[in-house]
Structure 1
Amino acid sequence: MAKKILYIDDDYALFRLAQKSLGRLGYETEHAQDAVQGLERLAQGEFHAIVLDHYLQGSTGLDFMRRLDEQGVVLPVVYVTGSSEATIAVDALKAGAADYVIKTVGDDFWPLLGNALQQALENAELRAAREEAEQEIRLGKERAEILLAEVNHRVANSLALVAALIRLQVSASESDEVRHALSETQARISAIAGMHRSLYTSDDVREVEMSRYLSTLISELAETMAKDRRKSNIRSHFESVIFPSDRAVSTGMIVTELLTNAIKYAYPEEEDGEIRVELTRLNDSEALLVVEDDGRGIEMSQPAQGTGLGSRIVASMARAVGGGIRYVPRERGTRAEVSLTIP
């Protein structure tokens, strides 16, 4: 099918020459003598490109291009002017022309016009193909994100069911040691489930807003631990930090283990006390996680209480997400600091 060209020029004789010349190149050319007629022709039929003369009746080609922009008409324009002034060509290109050709009395004008028109059409086709490909990529990304959100939803629900089953097992067990071990397992599973829940409720399924995630995690953990032990006074403060999902779940596991230990061991049964959890952004590439209490403290030279699995989990994950964990000496209580690298 021949490409349709709208030739806008107040010189009809020149249009007839253009029609013959461009016709030999396979183009179908129609004429408009001024801007008003040009807009009418564009509204009536489908064109692939415009050849636009600078000097029109009562206006210029630059005025016409501004009208095209106002009406949202996107077509490649080859700008034609009889002036040798470079500023007109520059203004035309700034206004959105694909190319320009200087009108001459010699025979070289028509081959130059044909070449400029061909290149303008080819570039327009390439842009259209690129935009279509980008649109397909965007749609594919959106579909993938929807599917990933659904996967995270299902995983979170499945893990929540597993945690509920463990909770039932905790209530049915007569052994304190078994109950404590199962409660810790339930807390770890809940930390992972919470991360997946944050992902499917987030606008970006690849990232987790840590303030919301950790707030929910601590609330659920405190509720779980209260069923097995006494209620703890937990105070938290989180600055806005966004982590990829893998780094988020590692951070959640660290908080789970440190907070569980503080709830279990920081204060004697008859003593109540505060546990503080903070996440502070130090700069664009580093954040600091702190879990501290004012309890009995820990002696690093003494063996870990319980199985020691929690301590190994914390040490391993702290190395994976940043600079490891360190315990800051205090007169009373325990302060654990974990340096987190922000990707």
Structure 2
Amino acid sequence: MPNTPAKILYIDDDPALGRLVQKVLGRQGRDIIHVTGADDGLERLKDGDIDVLVLDHYLADRTGLAMLEEVAARENSPPVVYVTGSTEAAIAVAALKSGAADYVLKTVGEDFLELLSNAIEQAIETSRLRKARERAEREMREARERAELALAEVNHRVANSLALVAALVRLQMSAVTDPAAKEALAETQGRISAIAGIHKRLYTTDDVRFVEIDAYLGNLASDIQATMSLDGSAADIRLLAEPLRLPTDKAVSVGVIVNELVTNAAKYAYRDREAGEIRVKASQIEPGKIEIVVEDDGIGWMGEGKIHGTGVGSRVIAATASGLGATLAYENVARGTRARLQIEI
């Protein structure tokens, strides 16, 4: 099937030149529509089938610049080649600033028609490339939106499945009488819940690439607090977090580490003494680096020496921090324990 000729709307109040342009450019396979006034041109543009508008500067009812402003304000307006018989550079500059794709100096002879033909061809090609780019960007955007919807559904299902597993572990814990087994199951349930919390954040966010870490840590602290209350612990968890975003894969590791640090503090920091406070702080210390501090006012531990419990939690913390490429340090404080985690983002 032959290609449809490009439709060119030529607005010029010179009927003789209009016929010449129709004749010469028509031979080149273009459909030239000539009108002599701006109003007629604007009316013809409403059909929406014009590929290029050729606009003369001097018109009977207004200047081409005045009409160009009206054309540029319309949606999906065609590219404009501006034609002027004036040698004033200011006119050409004004036309380009107002949205014209190109301009041609009107002269006597074949040079004008050749330049006009080349400008029209360039405008058609530029418009074609622009539309192709916009179409590709639109398709990519739609594909991404479909993928994000699918990923949100996956995260929803994973979060629900992990919540179910955590509930089953909790149920199993209630049926166990051995204290060590109970503690191991409780720790396992806490780790599962921490990871489930990440997936829950992901299916409620607009960008699955990142997690609002301050909101996530707030939910995590609430979950740990609720679990501690069920187990009879009265330690109070307080969160002091700046609005921060972390890539999803790093947020999962941070959640696991914070869960272990807070759980360990809840179980051991206030052993044999009145329960106190556990503070979780999150802040950006410099561009591209954040730190999370977990501290308490309990018996104190520097990350070495005798380990309370099985030591699994400490090994989980060390392995996860190493995999995250983060630095974890226990600081020497007058009272209690302070663990400082620094992460590159």
2:292 maps to 289
Residue 101 in structure 1 maps to residue 97 in structure 2: no
Letter matched to residue 40 of structure 2: Q
1:65 maps to 68
TM-aligned CA distance change 1:300 to 1:48, over 3 Å: closer
Shift of 1:111: 1.6
1:37 maps to 40
Q: Following the alignment from structure 1 to structure 2, what is the Cα–Cα distance between the partners of residues 181 and 229?
A: 17
Q: How does 1:1-16 map to 2 (within 5 A)?
A: 1-16=4-19
Give the stretch that moved more between structures: 176-185 or 24-33. 24-33
Give the stretch that moved more between structures: 314-323 or 175-184. 314-323
Give the stretch that moved more between structures: 61-70 or 313-322. 313-322
Structure 2 counterpart of 1:136, from 136, 139, 146: 139
Q: Following the alignment from structure 2 to structure 1, what is the Cα–Cα distance between the partners of residues 328 and 220?
A: 20
TM-aligned CA distance change 1:301 to 1:92, over 3 Å: closer
Q: Following the alignment from structure 2 to structure 1, what is the Cα–Cα distance between the partners of residues 157 and 312?
A: 28
TM-aligned CA distance change 1:299 to 1:128, over 3 Å: closer
Give the stretch that moved more between structures: 250-259 or 317-326. 317-326
TM-aligned CA distance change 1:300 to 1:247, over 3 Å: closer
Structure 1 counterpart of 2:91, from 88, 91, 113: 88
Query: What TM-score does the superposition give when structure 1 sets the normalisation length?
Result: 0.96
Residue 339 in structure 1 maps to residue 325 in structure 2: no
Residue 27 in structure 1 maps to residue 30 in structure 2: yes
Confirm or deny: 8 A CA contact 1:183 1:225 kept in the other structure.
no
TM-aligned CA distance change 1:59 to 1:300, over 3 Å: closer
Give the stretch that moved more between structures: 275-284 or 166-175. 275-284
Q: How does 1:1-343 map to 2 (within 5 A)?
A: 1-44=4-47, 46-269=49-272, 271-298=274-301, 300-341=303-344, 343=345
Describe the SS at the equivalent of 2:53: strand
RMSD between superposed Cα atoms in Å = 1.5
Query: What TM-score does the superposition give when structure 2 sets the normalisation length?
Result: 0.95
Shift of 1:270: 5.1
Q: Following the alignment from structure 1 to structure 2, what is the Cα–Cα distance between the partners of residues 45 and 68?
A: 12
TM-aligned CA distance change 1:270 to 1:332, over 3 Å: closer
TM-aligned CA distance change 1:261 to 1:40, over 3 Å: same
User: Structure 2, unaligned stretches of length 5 or more?
Assistant: none
User: Structure 1, unaligned stretches of length 5 or more?
Assistant: none
Describe the SS at the equivalent of 2:160: helix
Confirm or deny: 8 A CA contact 2:170 2:189 kept in the other structure.
yes
Q: Following the alignment from structure 1 to structure 2, what is the Cα–Cα distance between the partners of residues 31 and 186?
A: 78
Confirm or deny: 8 A CA contact 1:322 1:339 kept in the other structure.
no
User: Can you list the C-alpha shifts for 1:281-328, whole angstroms capped at 9, x where unaligned?
Assistant: 212222221111111112655232222121122122223445421111
Letter matched to residue 166 of structure 2: A
User: Can you list the C-alpha shifts for 1:224-267, whole angstroms capped at 9, x where unaligned?
Assistant: 23323423211111111100111111111111101111111111
Give the stretch that moved more between structures: 183-192 or 30-39. 30-39
Q: Following the alignment from structure 1 to structure 2, what is the Cα–Cα distance between the partners of residues 259 and 44?
A: 68
Describe the SS at the equivalent of 2:110: coil
TM-aligned CA distance change 1:161 to 1:108, over 3 Å: same
Percent of aligned pairs sharing the same letter: 54
Give the stretch that moved more between structures: 305-314 or 236-245. 305-314
Shift of 1:146: 0.6
Letter matched to residue 12 of structure 1: P
User: Can you list the C-alpha shifts for 1:1-24, whole angstroms capped at 9, x where unaligned?
Assistant: 222111100000100000001110
User: Can you list the C-alpha shifts for 1:61-114, whole angstroms capped at 9, x where unaligned?
Assistant: 111100112333510111111122222222211111111111111222212111
Letter matched to residue 195 of structure 1: I
